Structure 1
């Protein structure tokens, strides 16, 4: 790069500083060094070596102003075939610095040029090259001048020769020393410029502080991060300026830094605008030549955004984990190695008998739960989803657990998803529907029961219509007989018996219906007393005696040797065994045998003693399909194909419920149609023999009464008045509530037989007004109504009635009440 005009123009050329031509990354000390360096320095970049910067010495070298140099390829500025261009190409290609010395045959003596070219890098990428040029012409001129002076001095004055040689030697040494110093200064300047450039190129904040924590260096990155300029920060105490929050005590941090010469950790700083910044601090301790701490270099990277992202990710993961753990459905994950990887809380109970769980082979797990066949099928579904990505949904799954031996139901689906490491996994979502499935099955069973009940209801209504019509024909015929003039005494007597019998049958049917309703609703009360079993069975046999005799059947009763006493309602037990014997009679042919056998049961531990009563017949028997439902309501019709036996089919239901009310049980047995049937009743008995019941009180004589009969049914009122008149009582009738009040005031009865459902004023209000009237305040009030529930009885008692009789009124009971009334 020789330039012959250098010396000619060096004293006349004006070098102007052009800040606009300076690279933006050179500032401060670096700029001062390069601008005032005595050596030519330039920077180029690109494969064509475009000149980007030249210091004043370089401009003098090329005898060109800076404006004409910047932006031009270097080879255009140099003589043809200049070795500098070849050297630049090699440095650009290899990325290694090069040095070259070139000789120029100049007049009056040769000139030697020294080139030093090194690459400049940022972030490991070439951004240009720097060139330093040194020429030795001025040193050579000085040496020649000295030699000429010495030569002239030798000619002029020989005696000065030795002194001249000494001066020449000292000058050479001084020149060499100065050249060495110049080279060292150039190298240090280059190193300092490179370091300054690199420190300012980095995005991190670089701070150097002394051992008193005062800032000695503050790079461009620190200015950008914290907001204070270099001039503002220099000399400040770093932790006070930045309001540093330390993760550990300062003393502990300092001790670690002195021990290891470095410390890495996170700090919280406050910027000039008040922003709180989290930085990753890398502190390095610098020691002097004697090993004493001299300064601390801090490389600070802003990780505020990363920390926020990490916190947001952590919060998101925590939220997601919480959602998964607290999800209302079970979830578990099977990885591509077919091992259970994760199970949420809702899913854990399913795998309760598998421990440890996570990491086990999924096929083995499901086989433990569901057995070989079902477990294998489940494992195949998971494998298929993992291999193909095809989603599997099972809206209904019901199987028996092998480990628990219970049936469980689930809704479940399997989907494939990608794990963070890129591998596939299968996730199963499921909901335990066992309770819902059981409920649905219960509802289905209940619906079937309702269908059967509805069918039974229809059959019952048909039977009820049939059974209610049956008595009407003989009742109408008997009435016609009684109304026919000239009817024989025998005919009228039979007609009266028919009327009595049919009315009794209808009353029994209505009473049974009412009893079943009251027992079903839990509104029947037992009148418990000490009862002899023998008396109960004798009374029941009397109830069935007429039918047994009419069919020519035989009945035998066998009792234990010792009397058996029960704490029971005798009337209800009469119903129980009366129904059983009546059924045995109805469903057995003429001449069949009916047996009743009672025996004490063998005591079982601390269970109370029991008596077992077996009622057996050799009649038509019970079909196997009917036997499980024999005690259900309205199943009588199924026992035969015709209606020859009659009845509503509620007798056995009544038997079962009355026996349960007494703390006992009843069961039916039969070997099928044509093989008869057996009903077995178990009842608790008293351990000790009880005293016999007192004899009944002597029958009271009839006392005539003044009886007011109030009923909106005039026929009912008239027949009751006529009957009571025939029995010696004085009677009066009324058909409305207000009429009853008037009649009572006029007639002043001592007995009132009062209906409840009256026009104008109901029976309850009539009773209250009668109690309020002085003349009838003590009158014996008897309610006669079709309502017989316990709450109906409570209402009549509250209104002031003395007795409550249900229609059709049992005339024997009424007769007994009137006899007991003084």
Structure 2
């Protein structure tokens, strides 16, 4: 009668879903189950099965020895449970023709009551599909890593819970960190301390909700600098929609962000400038308007009339300076300014600049010290523009220095000549210092600087100095610690003093002979005041505010000179000049344009339209008087 235990064992052995081979202590096969027969293709009646169950000795098989299996078996027979690595078998060995297979095995010793090994249970597993899948996965991972390393961005990956387990080569090159040192949560320590809490908050929100991750933060570069990067990540989902991985990138946007921030800052400065421009242009209008009312109300009081005239002249001069600054900066920055290139004695330039700024210096109670190099110092350039450079720097120092401050102007000569303007005033904030020579940049405006200018002076200084082949630098120790500006120019040696530029003062010459002058300008005040001035010089003047009326006046009367505005209603000054030139009595007259349009193109149009001279408002009235003197000379 069969033992029930043995029967159960045989049933389990035979029905086991995996290949089982039972070996005796001498390496011979005692029995195999059905799964073994299916794996090796050796069923009942097959010679292979008869061979294995008969004379085959696994410990003496040279092929197993060559494949490295025998040592594992010997250790198993010595009493160790052994896991035998996957062995490759060709189709001739296995019962699946045409396809090589990989088989992995486990050798389990079976001991008797005294602990001696009685048999070995050898369990086989066909791992071909698994190994092929792993091989494909490795190939896929290799391709992924190759592609990721070829990208210009930093690429990273995490497990579904956010554990960082992969970074590409760019990450380590950017950060300079050792391989694997930022795995897990160590990545957060690479962020700027101010950005870490926000980065954690956004990342945890993405992990919690499955929403995409996007954030800008500062990442520590291998140089130690924190650079702005754009971090992005998307979840990778399986067929059921579950997140199986997060894939992310970091893109260096430092330069783009800095450029964007600079553009935004420039835009803010422009807005501030426009607001300041409106303020500065409105300020003089109040005293001008008040003075005009006083003139009307107190026309019989010569003292008040004189004071009102002074106020109007002073405020108009201030507004003219503002507009001139705007036009100057526009022309200089667009390369439309042509400089004279003549020997200029620099000490005279400094003296002239001091005289221009002295009223402001004295009004604010400043002390000014000067220190000059000995002898004459010459540079090649434009005298008027160099005076403008130095006077702008002195004017700036005076405005930004509280009352009763100290200013200094010095000149030193070496390989080049350096002009230095220093003050003990408000100083320049460190964040403003790199931008002081940019357009629309200005320091803090204080209540005692009601007419502080437009913040264009230093931009103009920089461009003019560079046009002279020099450079200008600014320095300040900080707020309240004063500022210094140094202009360096090429030195000119061996100069003939007779070649130095002269600068004659402007004056209004009285008319030697009376001219008949027609003024056409739709600005009634401008036309009326110009007419009165020309009459004061001794000319006969007729004023018209309409181009057609001016044309009729020229038909009725011969004029020696026409002074025409360009922006006239219905017919511009160019067309009016052409119509007037057609009149026989006006062909020999002198045509002078007096307008607010001053571009090179406007001047060219003026010449083409027949104008002899082109003056831009507010014109130098001395120059206008001299032009009319030339008309007199031709007429005599």
TM-score strictly above 0.5: yes
Residues 545 and 455 of structure 1: CA distance in aligned 2, closer, same or farther (over 3 Å): closer
Matches within 5 A, 1:393-408: 395=214, 399=219, 402=222
Cα separation, 2, equivalents of 1:473 and 1:519: 36
Residue in 2 aligned with 1:513?
326
Cα separation, 2, equivalents of 1:568 and 1:695: 13
Residues 441 and 511 of structure 1: CA distance in aligned 2, closer, same or farther (over 3 Å): closer
Stretch moving more, 722-731 or 764-773: 764-773
- Report the CA distance between 1:765 and its aligned residue: 0.4
Residues 660 and 484 of structure 1: CA distance in aligned 2, closer, same or farther (over 3 Å): same
Residues 380 and 495 of structure 1: CA distance in aligned 2, closer, same or farther (over 3 Å): closer
Residue in 1 aligned with 2:605?
795
Residue in 2 aligned with 1:534?
347
Residue in 1 aligned with 2:124?
none
- Report the CA distance between 1:820 and its aligned residue: 3.9
Matches within 5 A, 1:76-87: none
Contact 1:541/1:578 (<8 A) preserved: yes
Residue in 2 aligned with 1:180?
none
Cα separation, 1, equivalents of 2:224 and 2:178: 16
- Structure 2 unaligned residues grouped into runs of 5+: 1-42, 47-134, 155-164, 188-209, 239-243
Residue in 1 aligned with 2:275?
458
Give 1:718's match in structure 2, choosing from 501, 515, 528.
Answer: 528
- Report the CA distance between 1:753 and its aligned residue: 0.8
Q: Does 1:732 align with 2:531?
A: no
Contact 1:460/1:634 (<8 A) preserved: no
Matches within 5 A, 1:167-186: none
Cα separation, 2, equivalents of 1:627 and 1:334: 60
Cα separation, 2, equivalents of 1:762 and 1:511: 24
Residue in 2 aligned with 1:703?
512
- Report the CA distance between 1:508 and its aligned residue: 1.3
Residue in 1 aligned with 2:317?
504
Matches within 5 A, 1:572-611: 572-589=385-402, 591-602=404-415, 610-611=416-417
Q: Does 1:348 align with 2:161?
A: no
Cα separation, 1, equivalents of 2:427 and 2:185: 55
Deviations 1:631-690 (A, max 9, x none): 445555714245445433333333333333333333333334544332222233435535
Stretch moving more, 797-806 or 465-474: 465-474
Residues 380 and 728 of structure 1: CA distance in aligned 2, closer, same or farther (over 3 Å): closer
Contact 1:475/1:502 (<8 A) preserved: no
Residues 455 and 504 of structure 1: CA distance in aligned 2, closer, same or farther (over 3 Å): closer
Residue in 1 aligned with 2:370?
557
Residue in 2 aligned with 1:447?
264
Contact 1:707/1:731 (<8 A) preserved: yes
Residue in 2 aligned with 1:667?
473
Residue 753 of structure 1 aligns to a residue whose secondary structure is strand
Residue 446 of structure 1 aligns to a residue whose secondary structure is helix
Cα separation, 2, equivalents of 1:776 and 1:593: 60
Cα separation, 1, equivalents of 2:152 and 2:584: 79
Deviations 1:210-241 (A, max 9, x none): xxxxxxxxxxxxxxxxxxxxxxxxxxxxxxxx
Contact 1:664/1:683 (<8 A) preserved: yes
- Report the CA distance between 1:754 and its aligned residue: 0.4
Q: Does 1:640 align with 2:446?
A: yes
Residue in 1 aligned with 2:384?
571
Give 1:678's match in structure 2, choosing from 478, 484, 509.
Answer: 484
Q: Does 1:649 align with 2:455?
A: yes
Cα separation, 1, equivalents of 2:179 and 2:376: 62
Cα separation, 2, equivalents of 1:601 and 1:400: 45
Cα separation, 1, equivalents of 2:174 and 2:306: 81
Contact 1:656/1:665 (<8 A) preserved: yes
Contact 2:299/2:305 (<8 A) preserved: no
- Report the CA distance between 1:696 and its aligned residue: 6.8
Residues 453 and 756 of structure 1: CA distance in aligned 2, closer, same or farther (over 3 Å): closer
Give 1:777's match in structure 2, choosing from 553, 563, 587.
Answer: 587
Residue 264 of structure 2 aligns to a residue whose secondary structure is helix
How many pairs are equivalent? 462
Residue in 1 aligned with 2:63?
none
Contact 2:343/2:495 (<8 A) preserved: no
Residues 710 and 552 of structure 1: CA distance in aligned 2, closer, same or farther (over 3 Å): same
- Report the CA distance between 1:474 and its aligned residue: 4.6
TM-score (norm 1): 0.48
Give 2:575's match in structure 1, choosing from 743, 746, 765.
Answer: 765
Residue in 2 aligned with 1:818?
628
Residue 579 of structure 1 aligns to a residue whose secondary structure is helix
TM-score (norm 2): 0.61
Cα separation, 1, equivalents of 2:178 and 2:276: 48
Residues 624 and 432 of structure 1: CA distance in aligned 2, closer, same or farther (over 3 Å): closer
Stretch moving more, 785-794 or 693-702: 693-702
Residues 362 and 500 of structure 1: CA distance in aligned 2, closer, same or farther (over 3 Å): closer
Residues 716 and 670 of structure 1: CA distance in aligned 2, closer, same or farther (over 3 Å): same
Cα separation, 2, equivalents of 1:523 and 1:334: 69
Cα separation, 2, equivalents of 1:780 and 1:545: 40
Contact 1:555/1:595 (<8 A) preserved: yes
Cα separation, 2, equivalents of 1:593 and 1:536: 21
- Report the CA distance between 1:756 and its aligned residue: 0.9
Contact 2:342/2:501 (<8 A) preserved: no
Residues 95 and 381 of structure 1: CA distance in aligned 2, closer, same or farther (over 3 Å): farther
Higher relative contact order (CA 8 A, sep 6+): 2
- Report the CA distance between 1:819 and its aligned residue: 3.0
Matches within 5 A, 1:126-145: none
Contact 2:426/2:481 (<8 A) preserved: yes
Cα separation, 1, equivalents of 2:519 and 2:347: 41
Question: What is the CA RMSD across the aligned residues, in angstroms?
Answer: 4.5
Give 2:299's match in structure 1, choosing from 471, 484, 491.
Answer: 484
Deviations 1:299-321 (A, max 9, x none): xxxxxxxxxxxxxxxxxxxxxxx
Contact 1:633/1:650 (<8 A) preserved: yes
Deviations 1:54-107 (A, max 9, x none): xxxxxxxxxxxxxxxxxxxxxxxxxxxxxxxxxxxxxxx9879xxxxxxxxxxx
Residue 804 of structure 1 aligns to a residue whose secondary structure is strand
Residue 744 of structure 1 aligns to a residue whose secondary structure is helix
Residues 794 and 553 of structure 1: CA distance in aligned 2, closer, same or farther (over 3 Å): same
Deviations 1:144-188 (A, max 9, x none): xxxxxxxxxxxxxxxxxxxxxxxxxxxxxxxxxxxxxxxxxxxxx
Contact 2:593/2:606 (<8 A) preserved: yes
Give 2:182's match in structure 1, choosing from 357, 360, 377.
Answer: 377
Cα separation, 2, equivalents of 1:647 and 1:510: 11
Deviations 1:504-543 (A, max 9, x none): 2221122112223333444444344332222322221121
Contact 1:793/1:804 (<8 A) preserved: yes
Contact 2:344/2:501 (<8 A) preserved: no
Residue 372 of structure 1 aligns to a residue whose secondary structure is coil
Stretch moving more, 337-346 or 704-713: 337-346
Q: Which has the larger radius of gyration?
A: 1
Cα separation, 2, equivalents of 1:402 and 1:626: 29
Residue in 2 aligned with 1:69?
none
Contact 2:407/2:424 (<8 A) preserved: yes
Residue in 2 aligned with 1:47?
none
- Report the CA distance between 1:758 and its aligned residue: 1.6
Cα separation, 1, equivalents of 2:44 and 2:486: 114
Cα separation, 2, equivalents of 1:363 and 1:657: 49
Give 2:286's match in structure 1, choosing from 466, 469, 484.
Answer: 469
Residue in 1 aligned with 2:423?
617
